[in-house]
Amino acid sequence: MSKIRLPYFLCIGTQKSGTSWLYENLRHHPGIWMPPLKELHYFDHLYCQSNRSWSRWHVTQGVSRLLKQYVLAHGNNIDFVYIRYLVNIVTEPMFTEVWYEQVFQRPAAKGKIIGDITPEYCAIGDEGIHYVQRLLGEVKLIWLIRDPVNRALSQVRMNAERRGLSSGLSVAQWLEMAAAEEILSRGDYKDYMPRWERAFGRKNLLYLPFKHIAKQPEQVLQAVENFIGAKNWTGYPTPDKKVHATQEFAVPEQVSVFFEEKFRPQYQFLNDHFDTEFVTHL
């Protein structure tokens, strides 16, 4: 049997910090292979119990979207092997080790650097991190970091937009949304980062500040390439294009004040963990 291909790198964070931008760019690199579905949710489904209420739905919806796009784009020239590959992703049993392995067994992945970008992986805890070690070995880890308050505000806007609630909410309703556990926990750098560093060592983690994506996208991509051992490539079609930008509607000032208070320990941690130049570009 041929050797099972598994990811050489993971992008483990952070939600609303440019992970979709990174995925859309790296999938164009001729020496890198990414699954057609961003965010497989394998490790967080196993080790973040609350995610199990939606992770299967998220993967199924993503595959359904891919199937529709593929059929519309290819008409009568359909690759049924590829269709079967996509269908297998949403065929039970899902979220098993065999399931995860099969996602990466594509001919196009052979000889390339394979990655999995799922920002929820940052929250899988020590048990999940140790499982990542057992399954993937000394995998390279990429972490996009955004200012805690700005990241949370973007997530609140995204949640409100998805629910059709971007207008007409009272301050109390905005604050109720802001206090949701998923908002407060997704950017918990203080808890998550030391866990991954203890397991993998700082040398296997690449931290990238969010604002560098807008200011110097090519340099960010080159830093990723160098980190994972990919050849530097200048053929990215639109590295300066935003991906999945959240609508910029107003959020009450009280929500920002709430986040500033909640995330004060996060700012202290980031200032202690990184130099001033890095922190100013979050």
114: domain CATH number is 3.40.50.300
Distance, in Å, from the CA atom of 141 to the CA atom of 124, rounded to the nearest integer, reads 14
Span 50-102, pLDDT tens digits: 999 999 999 999 999 999 999 999 988 999 999 999 999 999 999 999 999 99
Give all strands of the β-sheet with 140-145 in edge-to-edge order: 32-33, 113-117, 9-13, 140-145, 205-209
C-alpha triplet 108, 112, 113: angle, nearest 5°: 130
Q: What is the CA radius of gyration of the chain?
A: 19
**Is residue 61 assigned to a domain?**
no
Task: Fill in the DSSP letter of residue 165.
Answer: -
**Is residue 63 assigned to a domain?**
no
pLDDT value for 169: 82
For the chain, how many structural domains are there in total? 1
Q: Tell me if 267 sits within 8 A of 151, measured CB to CB.
A: no
Distance, in Å, from the CA atom of 208 to the CA atom of 119, rounded to the nearest integer, reads 14
pLDDT band for position 166 (cuts 50, 70, 90): low
Q: Which helix (H) or strand (E) holds 26?
A: helix 19-26
Q: Which long-range contacts (CB under 8 A, 24 or more apart) does 200-206 make?
A: 200/129, 200/133, 200/138, 200/139, 200/141, 204/138, 204/139, 204/140, 204/141, 205/141, 205/142, 205/143, 206/140, 206/141, 206/142, 206/143
Span 95-149, pLDDT tens digits: 999 999 999 999 999 999 999 999 999 999 999 999 999 999 999 999 999 999 9
**Is residue 116 assigned to a domain?**
yes
Span 9-52, pLDDT tens digits: 999 999 999 999 999 999 999 999 999 999 999 999 999 999 99
Answer whether residue 248 shows pLDDT above 90: no
**Is residue 81 assigned to a domain?**
no
Distance, in Å, from the CA atom of 154 to the CA atom of 167, rounded to the nearest integer, reads 15
Q: How many CB atoms lie within 10 A of CB 227?
A: 17
pLDDT value for 141: 98
Q: What range defines the domain where residue 250 resides?
A: 9-35+104-279
Q: Tell me if 17 sits within 8 A of 153, measured CB to CB.
A: no
Q: Tell me if 122 sits within 8 A of 51, measured CB to CB.
A: no
Taking CA atoms, 281 is separated from 81, 98, 190, in Å, by: 44, 40, 18
pLDDT value for 2: 55
Task: Fill in the DSSP letter of residue 92.
Answer: S
**Is residue 244 assigned to a domain?**
yes
Q: Tell me if 130 sits within 8 A of 46, measured CB to CB.
A: no
**Is residue 113 assigned to a domain?**
yes
**Is residue 162 assigned to a domain?**
yes
pTM given for the model: 0.95
- What is the dihedral sign for C-alpha 123, 124, 127, 132? negative
**Is residue 88 assigned to a domain?**
no
Read off the tokens for 85. 């590959």
